[in-house]
Amino acid sequence: MKSINYIYALLILFLFPASIFAQATVKGIILDENNEPAIGANVVITGTTKGTVTEFDGTYEINNVSEGEVSITASYVGYKNLTKTISVGATGTFSLDFTLGVDSEILEEVVVIGYGTQRRRELVGNVDKINSEDLQDQLGSTFETALQGKAPGIQITSGSGTAGSHSIIRIRGTSSVSAGGDPLFVIDGVPVSSDNYILGENGGQNNNPLSTLNPADIESVEVLKDASAAAIYGSRAANGVILITTKRGKSGKPTFNYTSRFGLARPTNIVDVLNAEDWLKVRQEAWENSGNVGRVPLPNGLSYDDIEGVDTDWIDKVIRTGFKQEHNLSMRAGNKWLAAYAGLTYSNNESYLIKNAFERVSGRVNFDITPTDNFKISLSSSVVRGTRNKTPQAWAGGLGWAQSTALPIYPVGKVDFPQDSPQFAYSGFYNLYGNPVAQVYLQRLQTREWRYLNNVQLSYSPTKDLTITAQGSYDFTNIGDYTYEDKIWTGSTPISKAGLFKIKNRNVFATGEYRIPMPENHNLKVLVGTEYQQYDRERVFVEDNRFAGQFFEVQEYREMLDSLDYFDDEGYKFFSLFTRINYSYKDKYFIQGVFRRDASSKFGSNNRWGNFPSIGLGYIISEEDFWPEESFVNYVKFKASWGLTGNSNIPWTEQFATFAFNNNPGTVNNGLNYNGDTQHQIKEANADLKWELVSTIDVGVDLGLWDDRVTTGITYYRKITNGALLREFLAASSGYDELQFYRNVGKIRNQGVEYEITTRNLVGKFSWTTSFNIAANRNIVLDVGNATPDALDGGFGDTRVIEGQPIGVNYIVQFSHVDPESGRPVYLDADGVETFEYNPATMRVAAGNIQPDFTGGIRNSFKYKNFDMSFLFYFSKGGTIYDDAAKRQLGVISEDWNYTYDVFDRWRQPGDIADLPRYATSMLEWGGSGNIWQNNHSLWLYDASFARLRNLQIGYNIKPKEGSAFRNIRLSLSGNNLLTITKYPGWDPEIARDRSQEQERNVGGTNITYLTPPQEMSFIFGASFDF
Amino acid sequence: MKKMNIRIIAMLFACLAFASCEDFLEVVPENASSIDVQLETAQDAREYLNGAYDALSFGSVLGGQYSLVSELMSDGVDGTGLDGDWFAHYTRSTDIFLGTTRSMMSDAYKAAGRANNVLDQLGSIEGLSEAERNTMEGEIKFIRSIVHFESVRFFGQPYGFTSDNSQLGVVVRTSQNTEVLNRSSVGAVYAQIISDLTDAINLLPESNDIYANAWAAKALLAKVYFQMNDFQNAYDLSNDVIMNGPFMFDASYSDKYGYGTSNEIIFGLISTQIDSDNANGGYRGYLRPDASTGVPGLFASTEYASLYATEPSDTRKTDWLVDLNGQSVIMKFAFDSVYTNPVLHLTELKLIRGESATETGNSPAGVADLNDIRERAGLIALSESLAGEPLIQQLRIERHKELYFENNRMHELKRQAVRGNPSLTIRNAPWDCAGMVCQLPDNELKGNPDMEPNPQGGCN
């Protein structure tokens, strides 16, 4: 009975004063540091939930305030909380105004962590956050390049200067060999589809699935680097997770932004190839070296009269100044029950390659509806159309051909036709297939992609401590890759080809988060959830010769495409259960435990479920009472974590025995059917297949000095991949069609140190901030099972995975020097003994390495009155570049390629000390492999170190006068890749080569070039209007 | 979308409640299955064997590269302007990275693998009579004999290179599984071939639609024995096929290089034109003067063209070689779109019988076969008194002429060297230099660290 009385007394205490006796009202206005109204700020009576939100004019009113000393707290995103006390009488209106100060305290910054958010203070995992303003310094087709150099341990190798190209992102090194090494991308809680290989390597380039995400819509990007942060994504988190959060509405009256940006693009560098005179000189010398006399014969039956006066600079013919533009209109608005963001963007990015452009039209609306205080509906919806006009590159044409098979003695065209006509390009070619100018007229490649990303989130809080959230999403991509080849190009009939795909990626999850009531100073929060993902891909390929010269503009052709039957191309499912428990004591001791359990259709039948636990600890020692108040070290936090994450980025069919039936459309069939139908087995089943498991430990310390004038942090991590998926091989003589299979047998270690520091060197009227970050990763392959080096290859360029070496070493014969007597190359055999013999079967060694020793960035930002300026350097030190085309551009002097000017550094007579051997017309005379394409050795290996001025930006803000329609106008001028410092003699030391599958991307995606186009240098002018 | 989400949520609850996730999570590709389901009926078995013959007809196997490589590495092709893999073959400097040898190895063994698949399942296939079962087993052993015989000739030194034939040959596959096997000695490979073909001769009927029959097995075994310089066996088998088989010596030497006009073909890759099949004979593409460039990829060597210099009345010269700007275009094969690839034919059997007869002291039989071939080519018959070495030389000239671009020349020169000419050179290189054998391709080596590559070099 006693306890009931007690409760009664409490009820009376809490309820009656408020509801019956109190009549007073407190009202006022809340202003920001510029004395502008703070719209939508929270105002509550301290220690209660009683409060309100400010109106458009920044005013608020709280009714029924009880008599006495009342303290009221105002809070506003990005500002410090402010509490004031006021004496309130029994009745009447009392005034209390607030002016809020900007919150520079990064500890209170809200960070998205997957199925929720945390304050930075609470973080025990390693999460880097990049805000929207930092993503705006480039005008490109894709957001990920803007992350480069801005956080340690996120190694981004930007894609080439081709419009819509994609970067290679490796978080804390490469932890996979055969399984995909890219991070998981999650947009507003939806793990999105991001398949780089969907269109293969058509035109020598991959598709970039991230190019249909509009950078202007992004509010923030969070990168989950360690296991403690990433384990919540379980079997897909081993390569890190990139969380993308789109902009949402804010309460307040509608605000608009209109931004236009214009830019120009050029290649960062041009490496000249020989002109006609020099080319003939080099050929003549090689010809005479072979014991011939007279003038060297010309290719394709040309006579010297034919080439009189011809000297074509093919590189100049395929390069232009690209024009870029982007126009973006966005709106944010909101009131008590509805907040909305809407954005509309048009952009067209021409690259420096002729005919090459990426156009994007994008629309997004995000609504947050709050019908009652404890119920919220969030709708997010975007539609993007990306159109990529492709200019073939590398081996497929364009700039690749311009520096290789298009010889300076070939004219572009003999007869003067209008520049834009096919006749212009075609007329008078001697070698049609080597002509990159003819190509862009006669072979058109275009990718059209529609992407719809929609999700609905319901969130309900029956009590203050419990929130239940459910989200359903549909990520749909419709992508078509179209090729049209003119009859001049094919030599017979014109051909229209299309590869059409539909990707349906559905995801639902539900979570419940409960803050368990605890004694004072203790804080315990539990999240439980379940998630289901279903991914289906359908495709159809079609080739048709009925649509001469018209392509898909023709209604009839499109109807034909629409009538095609798609068939299942890929499919997988994930089902997951997960939980996250956060405990903290006094806001200075933190423990986080995460456990996720994933089942997937991709795993073999013997391994259906995987478990992914993690635990993280945090300790803010500077909050202890014993920490001296006057110390210049104002903040110290220790963090440590351990966890397991998985990588299940493996082909969906791997676990099955598969068969080919020639009468079954879409299955493998070699084009010949012997006497009717044929069948055969492609490969055996693999029931043991599973995810690779990465075990990560992470320890670090974060420091704040001199009242956060300097913030810095250092982290050590060690990642061990166990059961790494390795693509092993059956011998060709096993007789299977598919010789490769995956086994969980490898072991890889990445360990490293990440350091970052931000110093606010000057504050006040003239401010100067420097941010610096650097990361050193050491990668080593500890175990490869039975795999031979050649089994684990990185495609062309001869990179391999070898036990005891980092992933992606160049496994090649060592070139020693050019023999001064004979001019022949001297190699080293496996024991380091000099020899003229060249035998890759026995002489190859690990001679280079695609992994840099360290990477990082340094950025300086200055502000004076309305001016601001910033520049960012990105650097990468160590590693080697293998130039896979050098064997042709500097090797045998054949009649079908052009050469770079370095070719003149050759041996000419006995006694010469030269870089390159004596000119020769065949491999036999040159001295190496019998096959000109296999002349791979360490002579073509270069130092990969570089530093580049990634971005330089100058801005001016015009603050309009009171009463103007505009709140702010900003003009800016920026340049990207203006300067590159490197010893590498090729086009560009930053190389992300397009590849045909994941292992090639992991092992030879970076630092291996084969005529890969360089990055672009761009100049951008922007004008932004806020109103 | 709404509907779908409701369905998914319902399924999820079912999944949680009844732990039936295993089925729910299955996503099975359309072409996934297991071999005992897939290879169940007589029809399935036939289609699998079709798949094996199909693989034999690939451009990388009997349909092309065998013929090309055999001529490139010996003396059949004009070497000017060659590059890439062809140049490596031409200069006898193949290494592990050649596309040609990769596909020669993998595609040939696909034929063996597909055949062996049927052999493994033969006992459990429904609806096969005893006779049908025997026929299939015979075909399987015939198919894999071709694979082993051709592979060992390209990737190992020839039979007789060492006295005990212990030099490394190729992997012998008699069952289809993922077991890792190493190379057998050349002697062991030949022993397997002889055993398989002997079985095949007993198992196969004399007539078997377009597929291998007992005559084909005998003809192949004759060819194998001849390659081994085992003349008595070669004579007995070739004589049996010629005397007792249903094959007729064509009136024209060109009849068999076309579509359906020959009576000579003992085993061919036949175009039946069912389902638009076409045993294409890929090598012809490189020889065509009507290719899109207007110029063939390969021309005849002067060594070959000069074979006809001593007897210019040979009609094969004008029929098979046509001059184009001083180079000889090879017109031996019809360039029809549909083509039957003659793998074993009567002309070759007569050349085997003739030389084997001569080697075993039966010169008159040798002269008779020689003159059949000569007279068909418009040449005069040689004297019946011709015997011994001069007769052998004449037979070898006819072999050189007749079997041009039929995967003969390199293997034949090596056989001759083993037979009694240890100093023989093949286009200026010792017949037994390391590079005269194709290096194993990386796709054969990389799955097995114990697989030993061939030595390289030594030919230049």
Domain B39-265+338-445: which CATH number of 1.20.1280.290, 2.30.42.10, 3.40.30.10, 1.25.40.390: 1.25.40.390
| pLDDT(A8) > 70 | no
Q: Answer yes or no: are the C-beta atoms of B253 and B347 closer than 8 Å.
A: yes
pLDDT at position A393 is 87
B348: Cα within 13 Å, side-chain hemisphere: 27
Q: Answer yes or no: are the C-beta atoms of A223 and A171 closer than 8 Å.
A: yes
* DSSP SS3 for A519: coil
| Among candidate residues A426, A398, A389, A399, the one with its CA nearest the CA of residue A141 | A389
End-to-end CA distance of chain B: 70
Is A730's CB within 8 Å of B447's CB?
Answer: yes
**Residue that the structure tokens 């002109």 belong to:** A275
pLDDT at position A676 is 72
Closest chain B residue by Cα to residue A651: B29
Q: Answer yes or no: are the C-beta atoms of A806 and A780 closer than 8 Å.
A: yes
Interface residue A678 vs chain B (CB under 8 A): yes
**Residue among A508, A575, A791 whose CB faces B446 most closely:** A791
Enumerate residues 6+ apart whose C-beta is below 8 A from B294: none
Is A732's CB within 8 Å of B444's CB?
Answer: yes
Q: Mind telling me how many Å the CA of A829 is from chain B's nearest CA?
A: 14
pLDDT at position A724 is 93
**Residue among B5, B279, B445 whose CB faces A790 most closely:** B445
Instruction: Compute the distance between CA of residue B295 and CA of residue B287 in angstroms, rounded to an integer.
Output: 9
pLDDT at position A549 is 59
Pair of tokens at residue A974? 């920026």
Instruction: Compute the distance between CA of residue A635 and CA of residue B320 in angstroms, rounded to an integer.
Output: 91
Is A675's CB within 8 Å of B93's CB?
Answer: no
| pLDDT(A416) > 70 | no
Structural domain A144-249+263-272+312-326+354-420+430-654+689-884+936-1026, CATH architecture: Beta Barrel (2.40)
**Residue among B39, B114, B441 whose CB faces A735 most closely:** B114
Within 218-237 of A, beta carbons closer than 8 Å to B belong to none
Count other C-beta atoms under 10 Å from residue A864's C-beta. 12
Pair of tokens at residue A426? 């075609």
What value does the mean pLDDT of chain A take? 87
Q: Answer yes or no: are the C-beta atoms of A80 and A101 closer than 8 Å.
A: yes
Main-chain dihedrals φ then ψ at residue A901, nearest 5 degrees: -70, -15
What ipTM goes with this model? 0.91
Pair of tokens at residue A877? 């030190």
Instruction: Compute the distance between CA of residue A154 and CA of residue A148 in angstroms, rounded to an integer.
Output: 7
pLDDT at position A433 is 53
CB pairs under 8 A between A and B: 265
Which H/E stretch holds residue A1002? helix A998-1004
Q: Which residue did the predictor score with more confidence, A491 or A557?
A: A557
> From residue A638, how far is each of A121, A589, A619, A622, A715 by CA, in Å?
11, 10, 5, 10, 10
Instruction: Compute the distance between CA of residue A640 and CA of residue A698 in angstroms, rounded to an integer.
Output: 6
Is A841's CB within 8 Å of B456's CB?
Answer: yes
The amino acid that residue A917 corresponds to is: P
pLDDT at position B293 is 53
Closest chain B residue by Cα to residue A604: B26
Q: Answer yes or no: are the C-beta atoms of A694 and A227 closer than 8 Å.
A: yes
Indicate the range of A79-93, A939-953, B107-121, B380-394 predicted with least confidence.
Answer: A79-93
**Residue that the structure tokens 């289609």 belong to:** B47
Q: Given phi > 0 = left and psi -120 to 50 = alpha, else beta, which region is A222? A: beta
The amino acid that residue A355 corresponds to is: K
Instruction: Compute the distance between CA of residue A409 and CA of residue A397 in angstroms, rounded to an integer.
Output: 18
Instruction: Compute the distance between CA of residue A171 and CA of residue A466 in angstroms, rounded to an integer.
Output: 35
Q: Mind telling me how many Å the CA of B35 is from chain A's nearest CA?
A: 7
Q: Which residue did the predictor score with more confidence, A395 or A582?
A: A582
- For A735-783, the DSSP string reads --S--EEEEEEEEEEEEEEEEEEEEEEE-SSEEEEEEEEEEEEEEEEEE
**Residue among A534, A674, A929 whose CB faces B95 most closely:** A929
| pLDDT(A819) > 60 | yes
Closest chain A residue by Cα to residue B110: A735
Q: Answer yes or no: are the C-beta atoms of A140 and A204 closer than 8 Å.
A: no
Instruction: Compute the distance between CA of residue A883 and CA of residue A1008 in angstroms, rounded to an integer.
Output: 6
* DSSP SS3 for A955: strand
Instruction: Compute the distance between CA of residue A606 and CA of residue A3 in angstroms, rounded to an integer.
Output: 57
**Residue that the structure tokens 């190798």 belong to:** A157
Q: Answer yes or no: are the C-beta atoms of B79 and B90 closer than 8 Å.
A: yes
> In whole angstroms, what separates CA B118 from the centre of its chain?
21
Closest chain B residue by Cα to residue A506: B5
Q: Answer yes or no: are the C-beta atoms of A510 and A529 closer than 8 Å.
A: yes
**CB < 8 Å to A575, chain B:** 12, 15, 21, 24-25
**CB < 8 Å to A840, chain B:** 95-97
Instruction: Compute the distance between CA of residue B129 and CA of residue B134 in angstroms, rounded to an integer.
Output: 9
Count other C-beta atoms under 10 Å from residue A425's C-beta. 23
Within 482-511 of A, beta carbons closer than 8 Å to B belong to 491-492, 506, 508
Structural domain A2-103, CATH architecture: Sandwich (2.60)
| Residue pLDDT, tens place only, A881-923 | 999 999 999 999 998 899 999 999 999 999 999 999 999 998 8
Interface residue A788 vs chain B (CB under 8 A): yes
**CB < 8 Å to A791, chain B:** 446-447
Give every residue of chain B whose pLDDT is below 50, as ranges: 1-4, 17-19
- Of chain A, the percentage scoring pLDDT greater than 90 comes to 51
Instruction: Compute the distance between CA of residue A619 and CA of residue A349 in angstroms, rounded to an integer.
Output: 48
pLDDT at position A904 is 95
Within 641-670 of A, beta carbons closer than 8 Å to B belong to 652-653, 656-664, 666-667, 670
Could you state, in order of their start, the residue ranges of all structural domains in chain B?
A: 39-265+338-445
Is B456's CB within 8 Å of A839's CB?
Answer: yes
Q: Answer yes or no: are the C-beta atoms of B182 and B451 closer than 8 Å.
A: yes
In the DSSP assignment, the letter for residue A672 is -
Could you state, in order of their start, the residue ranges of all structural domains in chain A?
A: 2-103, 144-249+263-272+312-326+354-420+430-654+689-884+936-1026
What string of H, E and C letters represents the secondary structure of chain B? CHHHHHHHHHHHHHHHHHCCHHHHCCCCCCCECCHHHHCCEHHHHHHHHHHHHHHHCCCCCCCCHHHHHHHHHCCCECCCCCCHHHHHHHCCCCCCCCHHHHHHHHHHHHHHHHHHHHHHHHHHCECCCHHHHHHHHHHHHHHHHHHHHHHHHHHCCCCCCCCCCCCECCCCCCCCCCCCCCCCEHHHHHHHHHHHHHHHHHHCCCCECECCCHHHHHHHHHHHHHHCCCHHHHHHHHHHHHHHCCCCCCCCCCCCCCCCCCCCEEEEECCCCHHHCCCCCCCHHHHCCCCCCCCCCCCECHHHHHHHCCCCCCHHHHHHEEEECCEEEECCCCCCCCCCEEEEEHHHHHHHHHHHHHHCCCHHHHHHHHHHHHHHCCCCCCCCCCCHHHHHHHHHHHHHHHCCCCCCHHHHHHHHHHHHCCCCEECCEECCCHHHCCCCCHHHHCCCCCCCCCCCCCCC
- Taking only Cα atoms into account, the Rg of chain B, rounded to an integer number of angstroms, comes to 25
Pair of tokens at residue A502? 């539909």
Is A791's CB within 8 Å of B447's CB?
Answer: yes
**CB < 8 Å to B33, chain A:** 657-659
Pair of tokens at residue B269? 């890759």
Is A656's CB within 8 Å of B28's CB?
Answer: yes
Count other C-beta atoms under 10 Å from residue A241's C-beta. 26
Angle between helical axes of B231-244 and B214-227 (0-180°, round to 10): 150
Count other C-beta atoms under 10 Å from residue A51's C-beta. 16
| pLDDT(A431) > 80 | no
Q: Mind telling me how many Å the CA of B73 is from chain A's nearest CA?
A: 13
**Residue among B9, B57, B117 whose CB faces A674 most closely:** B57
Instruction: Compute the distance between CA of residue B377 and CA of residue B252 in angstroms, rounded to an integer.
Output: 8
| Residue pLDDT, tens place only, A212-244 | 888 889 999 999 998 888 899 999 999 999 999
Instruction: Compute the distance between CA of residue B440 and CA of residue B424 in angstroms, rounded to an integer.
Output: 24
**CB < 8 Å to A735, chain B:** 109-114, 116, 173, 176
Q: Answer yes or no: are the C-beta atoms of A227 and A611 closer than 8 Å.
A: no
Instruction: Compute the distance between CA of residue A280 and CA of residue A314 in angstroms, rounded to an integer.
Output: 16
User: What residues are paired with B341 via a beta bridge?
Assistant: B269
Q: Mind telling me how many Å the CA of A433 is from chain B's nearest CA?
A: 11
Is A684's CB within 8 Å of B449's CB?
Answer: no
Interface residue A913 vs chain B (CB under 8 A): no
List the single best residue of B15, B57, B83 to mutate versus A (max A Cβ within 10 A).
Answer: B83
pLDDT at position A40 is 74
Indicate the range of A130-144, A295-309, A589-603 predicted with least confidence.
Answer: A130-144
